[in-house]
């Protein structure tokens, strides 16, 4: 991992290095967790884990497969499915439900967090502090339900997609 030797005084570059290290770290943690649970380590598994662990965007199995193929041409789609299954079993990834479909996965964040998803590119931000307790107890009282969980997700456009869409509208006059 040569990136860990890069030393820079340029602020933007050092921030970049920190991000790289963080993502590499997440991959190794996942690999360690898989080994701890008795799974053997292979090149295929490693590549898929790296792709999924470092993606800031929601990935469908087929998207993960395509990205993994760019790094290692011999990977099969079945291996991607089996790896996603293992990662989900260990709680390292979570399935993402969207109006456009429910095949996506994203690295799971610790604690009870909600998702903000870019409808255009799938970029995900996590947030917490939903302040729903009052609402939930009101609804429980009114309906008699025993409420055991909730889903909260926000949808929108990330900064970059706002710019890109505005630009393409200006240039195509649509």
Partner DNA sequence: CTCCCTGCAAACTGTTTGCAAGTAC
Partner DNA sequence: GTACTTGCAAACAGTTTGCAGGGAG
Residues in the site for DNA, rule: CB under 7 A? Answer: 35, 38-45, 60-62, 72, 74-79, 81-83, 85, 103
Positive or negative, the CA dihedral 83, 89, 94, 95 is positive
In order of 157, 158, 159, 163, the CA distances from 170 in angstroms are 17, 18, 17, 11
In order of 1, 24, 60, 83, the CA distances from 88 in angstroms are 27, 19, 13, 9
* Residue 97 binding its own copies, by CB under 8 A: yes
* String marking each residue 103-122 x if it binds its own copies according to CB under 8 A: -------------x-xx---
Cα 52 to Cα 155: distance, rounded to the nearest angstrom = 21
Considering the complex, state which of residue 19 and residue 32 has its C-beta at the smaller distance from its own copies.
19
Segment 7 to 46, residues that bind its own copies, using CB under 8 A: none
Choose the one of its own copies, DNA, none that binds residue 167, judging by a C-beta under 5 to 8 angstroms depending on kind.
none
**Contact with its own copies (CB under 8 A) among 135, 167, 168, 169:** 135
* String marking each residue 63-82 x if it binds its own copies according to CB under 8 A: --------------------
The phi and psi torsions of 121 (rounded to 5 degrees) equal: -120, -5
Cα 33 to Cα 10: distance, rounded to the nearest angstrom = 35
Task: Go through the chain and tell me how many residues it has.
Answer: 174
**Contact with its own copies (CB under 8 A) among 7, 159, 171, 172:** 159
Considering the complex, state which of residue 62 and residue 163 has its C-beta at the smaller distance from DNA.
62
Cα 112 to Cα 134: distance, rounded to the nearest angstrom = 17
| Token pair 């610790």: residue | 110
**Contact with its own copies (CB under 8 A) among 43, 127, 167, 168:** 127
Site residues for its own copies per CB under 8 A: 97, 102, 116, 118-119, 125, 127, 129-132, 134-136, 139-140, 142-159, 162
């Amino acid at each position: 991992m040569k990136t860990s030797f890069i030393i820079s005084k340029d602020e933007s570059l050092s921030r970049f290095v920190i991000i790289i290290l963080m993502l590499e770290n997440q991959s190794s943690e996942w690999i360690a967790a898989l080994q701890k649970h008795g799974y053997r380590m292979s090149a295929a598994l490693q590549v898929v884990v790296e792709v999924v662990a470092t993606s800031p965007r929601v990935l469908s199995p087929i998207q993960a497969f395509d990205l993994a193929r760019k790094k290692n041409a011999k990977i099969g789609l079945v291996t991607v499915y089996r790896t996603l299954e293992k990662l989900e079993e260990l709680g390292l990834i979570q399935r993402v439900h969207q109006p456009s479909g429910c095949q996506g996965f994203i690295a799971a964040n610790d604690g009870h967090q909600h998702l903000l998803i870019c409808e255009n590119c799938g970029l995900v931000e996590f947030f917490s502090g939903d302040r729903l307790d009052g609402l939930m107890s009101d609804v429980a009282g009114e309906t008699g339900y025993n409420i055991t969980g909730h889903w909260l997700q926000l949808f929108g456009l990330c900064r970059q997609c706002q710019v890109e869409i505005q630009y393409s509208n200006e240039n195509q006059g649509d």
